[in-house]
Amino acid sequence: MRFLLDAEQRAFADSLDAMLTAADTPSVVRDWSRGDHDGGRALWSRIAKAGVFALAVPEAYEGMGPHPVELAVGFVELGRHAVPGPLVETVAAAALLAELADPLPAGRLLPSLASGEASATLALDGAYALDGDAATTRLALAADGLRLAPGHGPVRASLDPARRLTPLTPGGELLATAPPVAHALVWARLATAAQALGVGLALLDRTVAYVGQRTQFGVPVGSFQAVKHRLADAKIALEFARPLLFGAALTMAPADVAAAKVTACEAAYATARTALQLHGAIGYTAEYDLSLWLAKARALRTAWGTPAQCRAEVLSGGARRW
C-alpha cells in the first residue's frame, strides 16, 4: 500500500503544468470562445504529444493505455489551466471505441485520437455534444446504435463561453449496435472529476493570492477570519476530493468514479462561489481571467452526470462497498 503519486507521476504533472503555464491558456480560451480554434488546436497537439490522450487508448491502437491514474493526473493539470476543447469527450470516445465488439472502427479512429491529429466529441443522451464545431470525430448514440455523425447544428451558448454546445446531425455511419456506454461514462466521469479538481485548485490558488495583496481598512483582506474560513473550507473540500479521484482511478468501479465525480465537482463549484465572493466586483467581470475558471466549475458540475445521478450510482451497488 502506497497511496501517493510516485515520482514519475508527479514529474508528468509538473511538465504539463510548465508547458501549459507557458502557453498563455487564457488567451487561447478567449479565442476558442469566439469560435477561433487555431490556438486551441496547436495546444491540443502539444497536449497529445505529452501523451495525455494516448493514456486512454490501448497499445493495440497506437496508444499507451489504458492508464486511468496518469490520465487523472493529466486532467487535473488541464483543469488547472482551463484548457478548452472536447478533452473529456475525446477520452470517453476512445474508451468507447476501444471496447466495441467490432475492432475495425477502433483501428480506423483511435490512432489519430492518441496522436492528437483528431479530436472527438460524443453525445450519449441525444442532446448536445461539446465543441462539435471543433471536433473531427463526432459520435452519437442513436436509437439503433453508435453512429458517426455527419456534421453538427448551430452552436448554442454555454454558461461557460469556452464550451460550445452543438447538436449533432442525425444519421451517418453505424459503428456498433450495442456500444458499451456505461464503460465510456466511467471514463468521462473520471476525466471530468480530475478536470474539476484542477479547476478548483486554480480558483483557490488565485483567490489566496488575491486576498493576500488586496488591501482594505489598511490590511490585506486575507487577514480577516471570515475570509480565511471560507478559503479553509474550500481547501478541505478539495483535499478530500483528491483521494477519491485517485482511489477511483485505481479501481475504475462505477460507484467509486461517481463518488469522485460528484465530490470533485461540488468542491470545485463551492470554491468558485468562494472565489467570486472574495474577489468582489472584479471577479464578476468577464474580462478578468478568473471568469474562465468560474464558468467552467459551474458547467462541469452537471456534465456527464448530475450530482443526484452520481449519488444514486454510489448507492446502487450491493451491501458493503469499501
Q: Which of 268, 267, 261 is nearest to 310 (CA)?
A: 261
150 near another protein (CB under 8 A): no
- The residue whose grid cell reads 488547472 is 80
295 near another protein (CB under 8 A): no
7 near another protein (CB under 8 A): no
11 near another protein (CB under 8 A): no
Coil vs helix vs strand at 155:
coil
Residues 77-96 that bind another protein (CB under 8 A): none
Among 101, 143, 219, 281, binds another protein (CB under 8 A): 219
CA distance 113 to 52: 10
Task: Kindly compute the dihedral angle of the four CA atoms of residues 163, 169, 174, 176, in this order, to the nearest 10 degrees.
Answer: 30
321 near another protein (CB under 8 A): yes
Stretch that binds another protein, among 52-60, 131-139, 151-159, 221-229 (CB under 8 A): 221-229
- The residue whose grid cell reads 471560507 is 230
Minimal distance, residue 316 CB to another protein, in Å? 10
Cell numbers describing residue 65: 493505455
Q: Which of 77, 88, 83 is nearest to 25 (CA)?
A: 83
Among 142, 233, 273, 298, binds another protein (CB under 8 A): 233
Q: Which is nearer to another protein, 162 or 211 (CB)?
A: 211
Q: How many residues does this entry show for the chain?
A: 322
CA distance 228 to 90: 38
Do 245 and 72 contact (CB within 8 A), yes or no?
A: yes
**Number of residues near another protein (by CB under 8 A):** 49
Minimal distance, residue 41 CB to another protein, in Å? 32
Among 133, 208, 214, 288, binds another protein (CB under 8 A): 208
Minimal distance, residue 138 CB to another protein, in Å? 34
Number of Cβ within a 10 Å radius of residue 227: 18
256 near another protein (CB under 8 A): yes
Among 2, 22, 216, 281, binds another protein (CB under 8 A): 2
- Radius of gyration of the chain measured on its C-alpha atoms: 19
13 near another protein (CB under 8 A): no
Residue 224 backbone phi and psi in degrees, to 5: -80, 140
Among 35, 126, 170, 243, binds another protein (CB under 8 A): 243
- The residue whose grid cell reads 483501428 is 107
214 near another protein (CB under 8 A): no
Instruction: Say which residues have a Cβ less than 8 Å from residue 271's Cβ, sequence separation at least 6.
Output: 200, 203, 204, 207, 234, 237, 238, 297
217 near another protein (CB under 8 A): no
Stretch that binds another protein, among 24-32, 149-157, 182-190, 308-316 (CB under 8 A): 308-316
Going 33 to 39 to 44 to 50, the CA torsion angle's sign is: negative
Residues 175-194 that bind another protein (CB under 8 A): none
Q: Which is nearer to another protein, 35 or 243 (CB)?
A: 243
Q: Which is nearer to another protein, 97 or 259 (CB)?
A: 259
Q: Which of 179, 191, 180 is nearest to 260 (CA)?
A: 191
218 near another protein (CB under 8 A): no
Positions that interact with another protein (CB under 8 A): 1-6, 9, 69, 204, 208, 211-212, 219-220, 222-225, 227-229, 231-233, 235-236, 239-241, 243-244, 246-247, 250-251, 256, 259, 262-263, 307-308, 311-312, 314-315, 319-322
